[in-house]
Amino acid sequence: MTDITPQTVREHGLSVEEYGRIKQLLNRDPNLVELGVFSVMWSEHCSYKSTRAHLRRLPTKAPWVLQGPGENAGVIDIGDGDVAVFKMESHNHPSFIEPYQGAATGVGGIMRDVFTMGARPVAMMNALRFGAPDHPKTRHLVSGVVSGIGGYGNCMGVPTVGGEVNFHRSYNGNILVNAMCVGLARGDKIFKSAAEGAGNPVVYIGSKTGRDGIHGATMASAEFNEDSEEKRPTVQVGDPFTEKLLLEACLELMATDAIIAIQDMGAAGLTSSSAEMGSKGGSGIELDLDRVPQREENMTAYDMMLSESQERMLAVLKPGREGEAERIFKKWQLDFAVIGRTTDSGRLIVKHKGAVVADMPVHALSEEAPVYNRPFERRTPASGSPPYDRARPVMDSLVRLMASPDIASRRWVWEQYDNTVMADTVQRPGGDAAVVRVHNTDKALAITTDVTPRYCKADPFEGAKQAVAEAWRNLTAVGATPLAVTDNLNFGNPEKPEIMGEIASAVDGIAEACRALDFPVVSGNCSLYNETNGEAILPTPAIGAVGLLKNVNRMATIAFKRENDAILLIGDTKGHLGQSIYLREIEGKEEGAAPPVDLSAERKNGDFVRSLIEAGKVDTVHDLSDGGLIVALAEMALPTRIGAKIALPATGDAIAFLYGEDQARYLVAAADAERILADAKAAGVSAVLLGRTGGDKIAVEGAGEIAIAALARAHEGWFPSYMGGTELSPSN
Amino acid sequence: MKSAVVVFPASNCDRDAAVALEHLTGEKPHMAWHADTDLPDVDLIVLPGGFAYGDYLRCGAMAAQSRIMRDVKKKADQGVTVLGICNGFQVLTETGLLPGALMRNAQLKFVCKPVGLEVEETQSVFTRKYDKGQKLSFPVAHGDGNYFADDETLDRLEGEGRVVFRYAQGENPNGSARNIAGILSEKRNVLGLMPHPERVCDPMLGGTDGVGLFQSLIEALS
């Protein structure tokens, strides 16, 4: 065994204090294998040591929550014994270094988190942030990430039904790839990871172990610099074919009652899966590495314990059921090996070539990981309403916004994802939320991911509230009852007090909004150290959310469906232009206060809109977000090419009214305006009749008009021409 | 009509095909495992979409060598009706049950979207319920759907009325020769097509244009 020097400790990303704590817990110096194991288990990525103290403030309970944070994924009750299982997770650092494999294995990892719980994945979403479009690497990264997501998800046969793509220069050196997976299961067939009981066989299933991805978790817990691309060997390579077999084999085994516990091997592979299972079950685990299926020769214990080879699972079976399980895995042509057993020693003991190469208390690895109350400074939120040119022609700006990188159609992206496989996709990408039917029922899940990072930069607290509110609104806009949230907190270096302040404020914002909207957080992931050469990304607390449509036949979509429908605006408009897309794209200003979020108005307005959809009074709804009212109106006109004519209010500025990004608002279209206005009055909800659908233009009385065909060209044109390599003028 | 759906490792539209068949025929299809030696006696064999064996060699190449395909080939030669959708079409060309090959899409990207089709040939057990020239919309979802054959073969396919579906003008999603979307075998009992009829058999999913194909089969084979 190599002697541990201060440099070895440093290279493992451990501080002097942390190393001292390890020695104390072991009552001796660790050997290199043990040091490696501690280093990944105590990494930010695995231990959440900087955020754990804050995450405790998130609401995680509701009567319909069957499993909150702490398992591989959250579980919610969706009635009739059915449950939805979901989680969102980042694969940011690997995707920047090797975009195709980084994104692909991100998809594979989150799918395993869901099917390890016994659920069949039924929908994928992803929230992607790239650098400025004119940055030399952006095109390459977009291309690689999108084809990586498609390459993995398409082969798995799970539809990728939507997500977000944004561009901002703050992501030039740290893109974000957050993937969300939603699965379905029966409530009485949920599998967990607690390895209870002694003497039970520990089995290894899936792919063979290679040297790929060693120290991936440690890489994800450090800032980037110019040398980061040299870390390419630590990015894992995905094999969706094997994962598809693993999915089917696991579900087949799960249909028996042979499993006590099961856990996927994700970050920190064999180390974290065995330590977490042992720790949760209050047992010990003994592993014999000679029995681990190996892809390469002469692998050391260190290699095997830290490998992040993909498509692997660890399970604890009931004694005597090994043969049955092995038959299933052989049928699916997967490796299967009994590599150890559970014990009552409370220790993780690793043997290799007949010798004990590691012997550590299980709880020390997972439960004794350091928790830091890092110093933090809450920033004073940006304030004020920046001036803008009130004489600028309104409709010219609309064309520019429709063709701007953050609003242009994402068709180029989603057409590379199989979004209709499994034959249950009721709403494809392009609407407010994706809708996927629960197989063989009239129920459906609505799914969305949301966050507006520029709001979060200006005001982490209000911005995080807004992310939750917008997710809730998007689910509501299709007619779903929002049920629960998974959060993916992407931030810079938590050792900087201003970044830690962003995290603390964002967690508070999420907590307040989730509480007010009965929208608990059931799973999540943190990705910190998203900095390159000291420059942090915009704070990006991405919110993935799931809602339930009890009757999929009562659903709304954004597209105008008939001529001469009344167009109504639900919610108050003050004309908030601070931090708007309009200011950024048209005036070149990223300034002012983020829009405030009135959670009681969100709730009241949203409940009202949902009641209209559920009652069958409305089938056309769009939430108002980036670009405000007029962009929403254009998006409603584009799918069916049915235009609209609206009037401006008697007072106030047209630009602020049309482009302001006030929250808690929806546009609805319906034949009968009077009835909806009366219902709104009765509910105490602000609603005004703006105009009517019809024609082939978007027309605003007193502000001009524009042909839908011209808007379509602008909206559809940007992405293909950008990816096709057309020169761009610098923006963002 | 009795049917069977072949399941290769990483087939992923096997369930979709089974759901459409059960919904339209009222009978569950037999799910045949790739390692089986024999198929039961059925009227229709479906090779579903997916990524059989990961499509790691050439799409469909390894599936074409699987044990079950010997029996599929034998039964097809005896006249049993075989429908290959997407990956299933690729397996059929790799097996030699259909001529030509499916290459990488011309734009080199996976493509998933509804595409316009025209029914060119109604003299088949697969299309008798459609009208000649009828316009349909089926989704495609593939990375390798670019149909290729030499001119002589293409002329022959056209001359013998074996081009059953063509992509509508301006809708060819993959660069296929002569806009070909689906073709018949010489004995007209084997159809391969890239678009997915089984995904448009339910109005909730955006259309029912695929129902005609299954109803044609039910009428012809029941």
* pLDDT tens digits for range A57-85: 999 999 999 999 999 999 999 999 999 99
A157 and B13: CB-CB below 8 Å? yes
Q: Which site among B57, B199, B204, B208 would you substitute to test the A interface, given the most A Cβ atoms closer than 10 Å to its Cβ?
A: B204
The minimum CA-CA distance between A421 and chain B, rounded to whole Å, is: 7
Q: What is the pLDDT of residue A211?
A: 86
Q: What is the pLDDT of residue B206?
A: 86
Q: Establish, for the pair of chains A and B, how many residue pairs have beta carbons separated by less than 8 Å.
A: 86
Domain B3-221, CATH: 3.40.50.880
Nearest residue on chain A to B59, alpha-carbon basis: A155
Chain B CB contacts of A157 under 8 Å are 10, 12-13, 50-51
Specify which residues A548 forms β-bridges with.
A445, A481
Opening angle at CA A631, ends A625 and A632, nearest 5:
60
Distance between CA atoms of residues A522 and A545, nearest Å: 10
CA distances from A121 to A16, A111, A648, B199 (A): 43, 7, 46, 18
The minimum CA-CA distance between A415 and chain B, rounded to whole Å, is: 5
Nearest residue on chain B to A419, alpha-carbon basis: B112
Q: B160 an active-site residue?
A: no
Task: Name the active-site residue from B59, B86, B118, B142.
Answer: B86
- Express each pLDDT in A248-295 by its tens digit: 999 999 999 999 999 999 877 899 899 999 999 999 999 999 999 999
Chain B CB contacts of A240 under 8 Å are 10, 51, 54
B198 and A423: CB-CB below 8 Å? yes
Task: Choose among A445, A592, A514: nearest CA to A77.
Answer: A445
A241 and B9: CB-CB below 8 Å? yes
Distance between CA atoms of residues A624 and A646, nearest Å: 16
A422 and B141: CB-CB below 8 Å? no
Q: What is the pLDDT of residue A3?
A: 75
- Express each pLDDT in B60-96 by its tens digit: 999 999 999 999 999 999 999 999 999 999 999 999 9
Average confidence (pLDDT) over B124-139: 98
Average confidence (pLDDT) over B93-114: 97
Under the banding of pLDDT at 50, 70 and 90, the label for residue A226 is: low
Helices A628-637, A394-402: inter-axial angle, 10-degree rounding = 60
Opening angle at CA A372, ends A371 and A376, nearest 5:
150
Answer whether residue A215 shows pLDDT above 90. Answer: no
Q: Which site among B7, B105, B110 would you substitute to test the A interface, given the most A Cβ atoms closer than 10 Å to its Cβ?
A: B110
The minimum CA-CA distance between B147 and chain A, rounded to whole Å, is: 19
Question: By the CB < 8 Å criterion, does B199 face chain A?
Answer: yes
Residue the block writes with tokens 């068709």: A411
The minimum CA-CA distance between A248 and chain B, rounded to whole Å, is: 9
A415 and B112: CB-CB below 8 Å? yes
Average confidence (pLDDT) over A21-32: 95
- Of all residues in chain A, the percent with pLDDT exceeding 90 is 91
A415 and B53: CB-CB below 8 Å? no
Question: By the CB < 8 Å criterion, does B56 face chain A?
Answer: yes
Distance between CA atoms of residues A420 and B205, nearest Å: 8
A424 and B56: CB-CB below 8 Å? no
Distance between CA atoms of residues A692 and A213, nearest Å: 57
Question: By the CB < 8 Å criterion, does B110 face chain A?
Answer: yes
- Of all residues in chain A, the percent with pLDDT exceeding 70 is 96
Chain B CB contacts of A639 under 8 Å are none
A723 contact partners, CB below 8 Å, separation of at least 6: A139, A142, A143, A412
Q: What is the pLDDT of residue A732?
A: 37
Question: By the CB < 8 Å criterion, does B54 face chain A?
Answer: yes
- Express each pLDDT in A683-725 by its tens digit: 999 999 999 999 999 999 999 999 999 999 999 999 999 999 6
Q: A91 an active-site residue?
A: yes
Q: Which residues does A contribute to its contact with B (CB < 8 Å)? A: 147, 150-151, 154-157, 239-242, 244-245, 332-333, 414-426, 428, 437, 552-553
Answer whether residue A383 shows pLDDT above 70. Answer: yes
Residues 66-95 of B with CB under 8 A from A: none
Under the banding of pLDDT at 50, 70 and 90, the label for residue A235 is: confident
Chain A CB contacts of B204 under 8 Å are 426, 437, 552-553
Question: By the CB < 8 Å criterion, does B209 face chain A?
Answer: no
Answer whether residue A30 shows pLDDT above 90. Answer: yes
Under the banding of pLDDT at 50, 70 and 90, the label for residue A366 is: confident
B205 and A150: CB-CB below 8 Å? no
Nearest residue on chain A to B36, alpha-carbon basis: A331
Answer whether residue A148 shows pLDDT above 70. Answer: yes
B12 and A155: CB-CB below 8 Å? yes
Under the banding of pLDDT at 50, 70 and 90, the label for residue A571 is: very high
Task: Name the active-site residue from A12, A54, A91, A576.
Answer: A91
Average confidence (pLDDT) over A558-583: 98
- Express each pLDDT in A295-304 by its tens digit: 999 999 999 9
Task: Name the active-site residue from B94, B118, B121, B198.
Answer: B198
Answer whether residue A407 shows pLDDT above 80. Answer: yes
Nearest residue on chain B to A441, alpha-carbon basis: B204
Q: What is the pLDDT of residue A730?
A: 42
**Which residue in B12, B196, B205 is closest to A156 by CB distance?**
B12
Question: By the CB < 8 Å criterion, does B57 face chain A?
Answer: no
The minimum CA-CA distance between B30 and chain A, rounded to whole Å, is: 18
- Mapping DSSP to helix (H, G, I), strand (E, B) and coil, where does residue A178 land? strand
Q: Give phi and psi for A458, each to the nearest 5.
A: -65, -35
The minimum CA-CA distance between B12 and chain A, rounded to whole Å, is: 5
B141 and A154: CB-CB below 8 Å? yes
Average confidence (pLDDT) over A86-98: 95
Q: Which site among B55, B104, B112 would you substitute to test the A interface, given the most A Cβ atoms closer than 10 Å to its Cβ?
A: B112
Q: What is the pLDDT of residue A220?
A: 61
Task: Name the active-site residue from B94, B121, B142, B196.
Answer: B196
Q: B196 an active-site residue?
A: yes
B204 and A416: CB-CB below 8 Å? no
Answer whether residue A198 shows pLDDT above 90. Answer: yes
Q: What is the pLDDT of residue A731?
A: 40
Answer whether residue A216 shows pLDDT above 70. Answer: no
Q: What is the pLDDT of residue A727?
A: 44
- Express each pLDDT in A506-552 by its tens digit: 999 999 999 999 999 999 999 999 999 899 999 999 999 999 999 99
Mean pLDDT of all residues in chain B?
Answer: 97
B12 and A424: CB-CB below 8 Å? no
Task: Choose among A472, A460, A570: nearest CA to A513.
Answer: A472
The minimum CA-CA distance between B23 and chain A, rounded to whole Å, is: 11
The 3-state secondary structure of A46-105 reads HHCCCCHHHHCCCCCCCCCEEECECECCEEEECCCCEEEEEEEEECHHHHHHCHHHHHHH
Chain A CB contacts of B53 under 8 Å are 241
Nearest residue on chain A to B54, alpha-carbon basis: A241
A433 contact partners, CB below 8 Å, separation of at least 6: A162, A427, A446, A447, A448, A474, A475, A477, A478, A480, A547
Answer whether residue A229 shows pLDDT above 60. Answer: no
Under the banding of pLDDT at 50, 70 and 90, the label for residue A234 is: low
B204 and A426: CB-CB below 8 Å? yes
Chain A CB contacts of B198 under 8 Å are 423
Mean pLDDT of all residues in chain A?
Answer: 94
Whether A560 contacts A669, CB under 8 Å: yes
Nearest residue on chain B to A240, alpha-carbon basis: B54
